[in-house]
Amino acid sequence: MSEKLEQAAFLILLALVTVAFVWLLKPFFAPLLWACIIAVLFHPVQVWLEQRWGHRPNITALTTLLACVVLVVIPVLLLLVSFLQQGLSVFEQIQAGELQPGKYIDQVRSAFPVLQELLERFNIEMDTVRDNATQAAVAASQFLARNALSVGQGAFGFVLKLALMLYVTYFLLRDGRKLVEQLVLAIPLGDERERLLFQKFAEVARATVKGNLLVALVQGMLGGLIFWVLGLPAALLWGVVMTVLSLIPAVGAGLVWLPAAIYLYAVGEWVSATVLIAYGVVVIGLADNILRPILVGRDTKLPDWMVLLSTLGGIAMAGINGFVIGPLIAVLFVAFWQIFGREFNPRTRAQAEAVDPPD
């Protein structure tokens, strides 16, 4: 009785200390999450270095981290700075009256009266669309301006979190395999189940970041390139917006290039509009249809509808980090139920034992 009481007290204290520690790390959730993801993504690079340099964990981890900084961190920071600068410029133009989003809606309405008739059939007034579009453009530009200012004012905090992410990434690269083995020994779920769950985490991290992010970057670069070729304003800004939208499956960059093409038709730029639509459907759309199933679906082994719902839910729950967290939760959900069905369903367990009888 005394032994059971001690064990229960210990487990309660263990749970409380664990919750307190997680709560302590809550302000650093994003840097820690991305440190884990980067360590998983660049682990094959570290393995490749170890095969050539031998067992030198400090050197290989540091070299892998430097590769990550050069290939990922610095380009993303430069892109972010350029994006915020262009966003701030758009906000200033709207405030000065040089850029009037409502004027573009009026031009489309006058060029395509059939569009207004079509919307009226669905009880949608063009004036309402115009006002909403104007408010959305102003709100988006204000959001970018605020973030540009907050990044400048909170530069120390941003640099601190970035340094923390890189610092933790180094130790995860160096000691990650030992940490995984310690967790496998400590967590009382069964070693085979725990290894399966860690494997699923690695697969989803690689698929969502390597896959979704790569597809989004390709689509954003292609979209920004065609905007620049056609002489459309703020090509870099719209390229980054298309990159962000492309992180969401079934939404994509079409929310940017299709309205732009409609506007070009409205102002009489028929050749540019036709080129933009053909380019968007064939080039940008083909990049999504070819790359995403190869890089994302193959690794996550999730149906498209679950990838979409989990991504949207993750973004709603955790912001931009949710495009990783959402599919991760979905895959762990599926993995847990697969384990449950295999080990706790008598019929499934009997079938598994018939195929692979126990020793």
In a domain, 272, yes or no: yes
Please report the pLDDT score of residue 66 as a whole number: 92
Torsion-angle region of 186 (φ positive above 0: left; ψ -120 to 50: alpha; else: beta): alpha
Please report the pLDDT score of residue 115 as a whole number: 63
Of 227, 225, 205, 208, the C-alpha closest to 216 is 208
Q: What is the pTM of this model?
A: 0.69
Please report the pLDDT score of residue 265 as a whole number: 82
Please tell me whether residues 253 and 307 are part of one structural domain. Answer: yes
Of 340, 90, 113, 79, the C-alpha closest to 213 is 79
Please tell me whether residues 306 and 165 are part of one structural domain. Answer: no
**Of 140, 157, 186, which one is at a domain's C-terminal end?**
186
Question: Which residues have a Cβ under 8 Å from the Cβ of 232 and sit 6 or more positions away?
Answer: 238, 260
Judge contact between 326 and 310, C-beta under 8 A. Answer: yes
Please tell me whether residues 204 and 323 are part of one structural domain. Answer: yes
Please report the pLDDT score of residue 12 as a whole number: 87
Please tell me whether residues 280 and 225 are part of one structural domain. Answer: yes
In a domain, 237, yes or no: yes
Number of domains in the chain: 2
**Of 160, 186, 212, which one is at a domain's C-terminal end?**
186
Per-residue model confidence as pLDDT tens for the chain (359 residues): 677 787 888 888 888 998 898 898 888 888 888 888 888 888 888 888 888 888 788 888 899 899 888 888 888 788 777 777 776 776 676 666 666 666 666 666 666 666 666 666 666 666 666 666 666 666 666 666 666 555 555 567 778 888 899 999 999 888 888 887 777 777 776 777 777 777 777 777 777 777 777 788 888 888 888 988 888 877 887 888 888 777 776 667 888 888 888 888 877 788 888 888 898 888 888 777 777 666 655 555 667 677 778 878 887 887 777 777 888 888 778 877 877 777 776 665 555 555 455 55
In a domain, 21, yes or no: no
Please tell me whether residues 194 and 182 are part of one structural domain. Answer: no
In a domain, 350, yes or no: yes
- Burial label for 84, CB within 10 Å (0-12, 13-18, 19+), is buried
Please tell me whether residues 279 and 133 are part of one structural domain. Answer: no
Please report the pLDDT score of residue 140 as a whole number: 65
Domain range for 56? 27-186
Please tell me whether residues 49 and 145 are part of one structural domain. Answer: yes
Please tell me whether residues 207 and 149 are part of one structural domain. Answer: no
DSSP symbol at 127: H
Please report the pLDDT score of residue 98 as a whole number: 63
**Of 125, 151, 186, which one is at a domain's C-terminal end?**
186
Please tell me whether residues 101 and 194 are part of one structural domain. Answer: no
Please tell me whether residues 159 and 246 are part of one structural domain. Answer: no
In 3-state terms the chain splits into helix, strand, coil percentages (rounded to 5) of: 90, 0, 10
Please tell me whether residues 33 and 149 are part of one structural domain. Answer: yes
Please report the pLDDT score of residue 353 as a whole number: 53
To which residue do tokens 């959402």 refer?
A: 326
Please tell me whether residues 243 and 150 are part of one structural domain. Answer: no
